[in-house]
């Protein structure tokens, strides 16, 4: 029990700062209402933020992180999955290139890939899809919106950005 309390305290209160994970991106590079936008095709709701930029712009590690996985998915295109010290996952999708590999450790702001439109973003404007997913469910954030129970896992990345 005490371990769970300690893990949750760390997960919630770890003083971690996230940068917008695209070089030269600002608040105007994304739509502030895009998190949990509904309807969103086969995903039902949009569980992250789309950060628009030019093709090939650097994708940056949003925080200190370790790479858990990289690869290609039909929907995600080229993707990178990382874990940060507060036990949250970061998911970067539709990349043009992946410039890291499994188990690599990155500091905040380091280049890990480049912006593209791979996967189901093919033919759409170049952007990075970015999600933050907590490993310890935040049950108190669930609501009655479509897929609202999944808000205990998918956190709003826009609220995490500091500039």
CA distance 103 to 100: 9
Task: Select 86 or 120, whichever has its Cβ closest to Zn ion.
Answer: 120
Using CB atoms within 10 Å of the CB of residue 108, give its burial: 0 to 12 exposed, 13 to 18 middle, 19+ buried. Answer: middle
By C-beta, is 106 or 129 nearer to Zn ion?
A: 129
Residue showing the smallest CB distance to Zn ion in the complex: 129
Q: How far is the CB of 117 from Zn ion (least distance, A)?
A: 11
* Residue 154 CA from chain centroid, whole number: 9
State residue 33 phi and psi, 5-degree precision: -100, 10
Stretch binding Zn ion (CB under 5 A), from 5-13, 72-80, 127-135, 146-154: 127-135
Residue 160 engages Zn ion in binding (rule: CB under 5 A)? no
Shortest gap between Cβ of 36 and Zn ion (angstroms)?
11
Is the distance from CB of 107 to CB of 147 less than 8 angstroms?
Answer: no
Q: How far is the CB of 99 from Zn ion (least distance, A)?
A: 20
Q: By rule CB under 5 A, what count of residues binds Zn ion? A: 2
- CA separation for the pair 85, 76 (Å, rounded): 24
- Selected binder of Zn ion within 88, 106, 129, 160 (CB under 5 A): 129
Q: Which two tokens stand for residue 93?
A: 């999708």
CB atoms near residue 99 (< 10 Å): 16
- Residues 35-64 binding Zn ion (CB under 5 A) are 50
Closer by beta carbon to Zn ion, 64 or else 129 = 129
For residue 110, the minimal CB distance to Zn ion (Å) is 22
Closer CB to Zn ion, 48 or 63, in the complex: 48
Helices (H), the chain: 2-13
Q: Which residues bind Zn ion (CB under 5 A)?
A: 50, 129
């Amino acid at each position: 029990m005490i371990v769970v309390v300690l893990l949750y305290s760390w997960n919630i209160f770890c003083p971690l700062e996230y940068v917008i994970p695209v070089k030269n991106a600002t608040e105007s590079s994304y739509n502030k209402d895009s998190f949990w936008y509904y309807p969103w095709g086969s995903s039902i709701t949009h569980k992250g933020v789309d950060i628009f930029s030019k093709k090939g712009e650097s994708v940056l590690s949003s925080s200190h992180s370790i790479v858990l996985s990289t690869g290609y998915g039909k929907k995600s295109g080229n993707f990178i999955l990382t874990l940060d010290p507060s036990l949250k996952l970061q998911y970067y999708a539709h990349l043009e290139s992946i410039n890291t590999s499994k188990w690599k450790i990155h500091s905040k702001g380091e280049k890990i890939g480049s912006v593209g439109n791979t996967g189901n973003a093919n033919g759409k404007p170049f952007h990075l899809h970015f999600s933050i997913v907590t490993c310890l469910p935040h049950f108190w954030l669930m609501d009655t919106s479509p897929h609202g129970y999944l808000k205990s896992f998918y956190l709003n990345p826009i609220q995490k950005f500091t500039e």
